[in-house]
Chains A and B, each alone.
Chain A
């Protein structure tokens, strides 16, 4: 099938929204109303196709779908809807997805208004030269105030909003207006399809038969079946096996993709590492002079140790990570060993959400029981001999006598909050060693706080603390700024007088005492009582700074043996034994998995 669609009948766009403002629902509605699927064929929220995404209401991987819309002007238009990840962890992915679009729909909740993330993503879209038009969603809510939200959009972002469609993606009300706006407001793609090929990679997935399936937007030139290609950044070369576009939930092959089109390419690519998001595909015989702008290598921001709860499952964990990595180029892992936990992996993530997602996918999709250690950022350790180490695992911290000084990563944080909570949030930032930069009022009742914060203060529970101290109203976004020297120490935890390496973490020296105390308290809650008394201690360089005691178990009896039902009794004992298995044996003490994440939950309020 040949694709001779004129560029002016194509619309490449994405939807920008804060979590829960209804991005996926609107996407579903658009797909449904453009007649690609009948309502019955549609599973709710076609685009979020991982279980996890549907459950959490967030998009993790970019999803793309092509539909055909017969507009009021009688013409048929091709819509390429590129759904982008919506979280700060995936900022780079977002920016690449945006670069594949020509316009964006901004969805704002008619009750909640603009959030920090919305703002960040709108600016990102405008930076990429995208045409952005707003849509006010959830007008069916009793608390909806579309007029207020419209003026907020005009005041804060500076987008014309008085004619913004007021819709309910849930009921479908006024969604037709959105479709018409897409045709009218979003520019058709430009680009010379005869020029040397330049196609932007904005995502890829792994298929066991086809190899890596690269999602791309052709900016210039044409990509065809059989064409020899080169990835401009990684230098990898392949011959195109198949090109095509995206049906709902399936790939539809075609002969070529020309400038302005969005689609996929397969080329028997076995290694996803060679198809990095942001890279440019060009033709080997007639390469473009310059790659498309904006490529950067993704780097992990947060590291943690992942271990199988049952040591014998190590090979399964390795296989699972290998498979996940095929679909997620930003996941990093390498083998490591812990005295407490045995063989496992040190894994690198884009952020805490990314970590969370990988952990959950390993557990759900690969049926693994995991022990995850406290996340750590990358510290730069300057040794007295001039050597600089990038420290990702606290256990590897050199002896303090060999350390000249240490640096920690700092981020620029932007927190949007209603004015009544400015106080508590400023206090929170202060507690987290934030340096106040500025505050702007975006309207009478809302302000943006700018702080410089150490990354290690926000990877733990900052987001939860922010939510709880603003009754859910604050939202936040950050970008890495650089490194700063800092007074840091390693806090060790001793359980029953044995140091548990997997519980060590790096902490700002002045907070060490407090963190140590709270860590001991938390572990006391998490570790079940056992046959004997267990002291929990926090120590810095061998000096004990805090202690708690877990009292011995006092009673655990199975009383009645009903009618000689020994099998039932045995089942109960087996259950108990299984329970013990799911915990980690450290010396004589069994520690449940979640205890290793305790450090994440130390916020006081």
Chain B
């Protein structure tokens, strides 16, 4: 996809939410207007201080994620976007996405987004059943989502993703079928369908420990997954990654970039970057972020954690475990070009084992996960980690 090696992606993290959902373990929290303003100012400083990273590169995608970026006052979004354009060379056809949560004021923000050059929306619907939404701790209703969705179309947004989550409390085959049917009728260009994962530190985790979280059992989950695949395929949605579906080739370029090792810079707290063969994450602490002096390079380095210069082995591992998340899988030719070693030479034994038991399929010079392989991708992908890795450079 992104074969142009002058591509650069930008991720901008807005950690604010009206209220934290019961299953969410992302870096997000409620905040007042003052903090939002201060944070945005600091973001803009970080973006400006980072402009040298863009030398000779063209920004092919910008993603405003969260949290709930749509919670910010629209003028702040405009401010962020103009800082981006001021500091980086943004491609004419760049994909610029903002994550939104349905809410009463959302519709009125679309015009501003459009004007700021945003051309893709990712709306966190999760379910079309209001009881399920309540169980998830979401604050919107399906009806509110509908209004927002229609508003976005009216504003001319022609590339919309809808996030859905399944295998959640109260969900049955019947309610899930209804959710999928209703959402596909709206014909969004893209669907992200995630299985609920109960993460430690969330209210759901507490409930699960106490035995209060009633989730669909394994048979139901399998039924839900199979139905999802078949139903979406029948309705023109192509699965291109473990949890992502697109119609008419409208893949999320930003995400595909992650899986195919396109360099990206993350701005804001907790944001991850991959640049010049090095991975790092920004501090997760809002105060240290706000207090940091945004100067290049010292100030920027001061807020970075877990800086890790990837070894050749790291890169090979990532090539495999990220690439195999894509339905089209990984290419032997590309591996050879990139690493000067054949894939067989490094991973021959693992690949043979999985081709033999049908979890990986070989087609020509490509390897990809079978459907069953996708279902249990963790156990398969973990076998692509190589032994004897060096530790992270900060000594952890």
Contacts and interface: CB of A to CB of B under 8 A. Distances in A.
Interface in B370-396: 374-383, 385
26 contacts: A554-B218, A554-B375, A555-B218, A555-B222, A557-B243, A557-B375, A557-B377, A563-B11, A563-B13, A563-B271, A563-B272, A564-B274, A566-B258, A566-B272, A567-B279, A567-B308, A568-B272, A570-B321, A570-B385, A572-B378, A573-B321, A573-B381, A573-B382, A574-B382, A576-B382, A577-B385
Contacts of A562: 26
Contact of A556 (B13, B65, B318, B379): B379
A580 interface: yes
Given A531-B359, A555-B221, A574-B385, A563 B378 contact: no
Contacts of A559: 194-195, 197, 242-243
Contacts of A530: 379
B306 interface: yes
B102 to A, nearest CB: 19
A72 interface: no
Interface in B19-71: 26, 63, 65
A219 B222 CA distance: 77
A557 B373 CA distance: 10
B329 interface: no
A186 B331 CA distance: 86
B379 A555 contact: no
B332 interface: no
B379 A531 contact: yes
Nearest to B218: A554
Interface string B279-309: 1010000000000000000000000001010
Interface in A541-585: 553-570, 572-574, 576-577, 580
A537 B289 CA distance: 59
Nearest to A558: B378
Nearest 9 pairs of A and B residues by beta carbon: A559-B194, A576-B382, A556-B378, A565-B272, A573-B382, A556-B376, A577-B382, A564-B258, A559-B243
A588 to B, nearest CB: 8
B221 to A, nearest CB: 6
Contacts of B258: 561, 564, 566
Contacts of A556: 375-379
Interface of B: 9, 11, 13, 26, 63, 65, 194-195, 197, 218, 221-222, 225, 242-243, 255, 258, 264, 266, 270-272, 274, 279, 281, 306, 308, 317-318, 321-322, 325, 357, 359, 374-383, 385
B274 A573 contact: no
Contacts of A123: none
Nearest to B383: A577
Q: Quick one: which of B194, B271, B281, B378 has the most chain A CB within 10 A?
A: B378
A41 B27 CA distance: 47
Interface in A239-282: none
Nearest to A528: B379
B197 A532 contact: no
Interface string A348-392: 000000000000000000000000000000000000000000000
A559 B197 CA distance: 8
Given A555-B376, A557-B195, A573-B378, 14 more contacts: A531-B359, A554-B375, A555-B375, A557-B374, A557-B376, A557-B378, A559-B195, A561-B255, A563-B11, A563-B270, A572-B378, A573-B321, A573-B381, A577-B383
Q: Quick one: which of A553, A560, A564, A576 has the most chain B CB within 10 A?
A: A564
Interface residues of A, number: 27
Contact of B225 (A555, A561, A566): A555
Contacts of A580: 382
Contacts of B9: 564
B377 A558 contact: yes
A565 B281 contact: yes
A86 B249 CA distance: 75
A566 B274 contact: yes
Contacts of A561: 255, 258, 325
A555 B266 CA distance: 31
A213 to B, nearest CB: 40
A554 B222 CA distance: 8
B376 A564 contact: no
Contacts of A572: 378
A531 B13 contact: no
A46 B16 CA distance: 54
B385 to A, nearest CB: 5
A572 to B, nearest CB: 7
Contacts of A560: 194, 197, 243
A20 to B, nearest CB: 31
A577 B389 CA distance: 13
Contacts of B380: 531
A560 B322 CA distance: 12
A562 B15 CA distance: 12
B379 A576 contact: yes
A566 B382 contact: no
A395 B272 CA distance: 54
Contacts of B272: 563-568
A559 B378 CA distance: 10
B320 to A, nearest CB: 11
Contacts of A570: 317-318, 321, 385
Contacts of A576: 378-379, 382
A205 to B, nearest CB: 38
A231 B202 CA distance: 66
A563 B266 contact: yes
A554 B226 CA distance: 12
A531 B357 contact: yes
A4 to B, nearest CB: 60
A567 B284 CA distance: 14
B378 A532 contact: no
Contacts of B194: 559-560
Contacts of A532: 357
A555 B279 CA distance: 29
Q: Quick one: which of B279, B317, B377, B379 has the most chain A CB within 10 A?
A: B379
Interface in A476-519: none
Contacts of A577: 382-383, 385
Interface string A25-46: 0000000000000000000000
B383 to A, nearest CB: 7
A563 B318 CA distance: 16
A560 B255 CA distance: 11
A505 to B, nearest CB: 30
Contacts of A557: 195, 242-243, 374-378
A562 B271 CA distance: 9
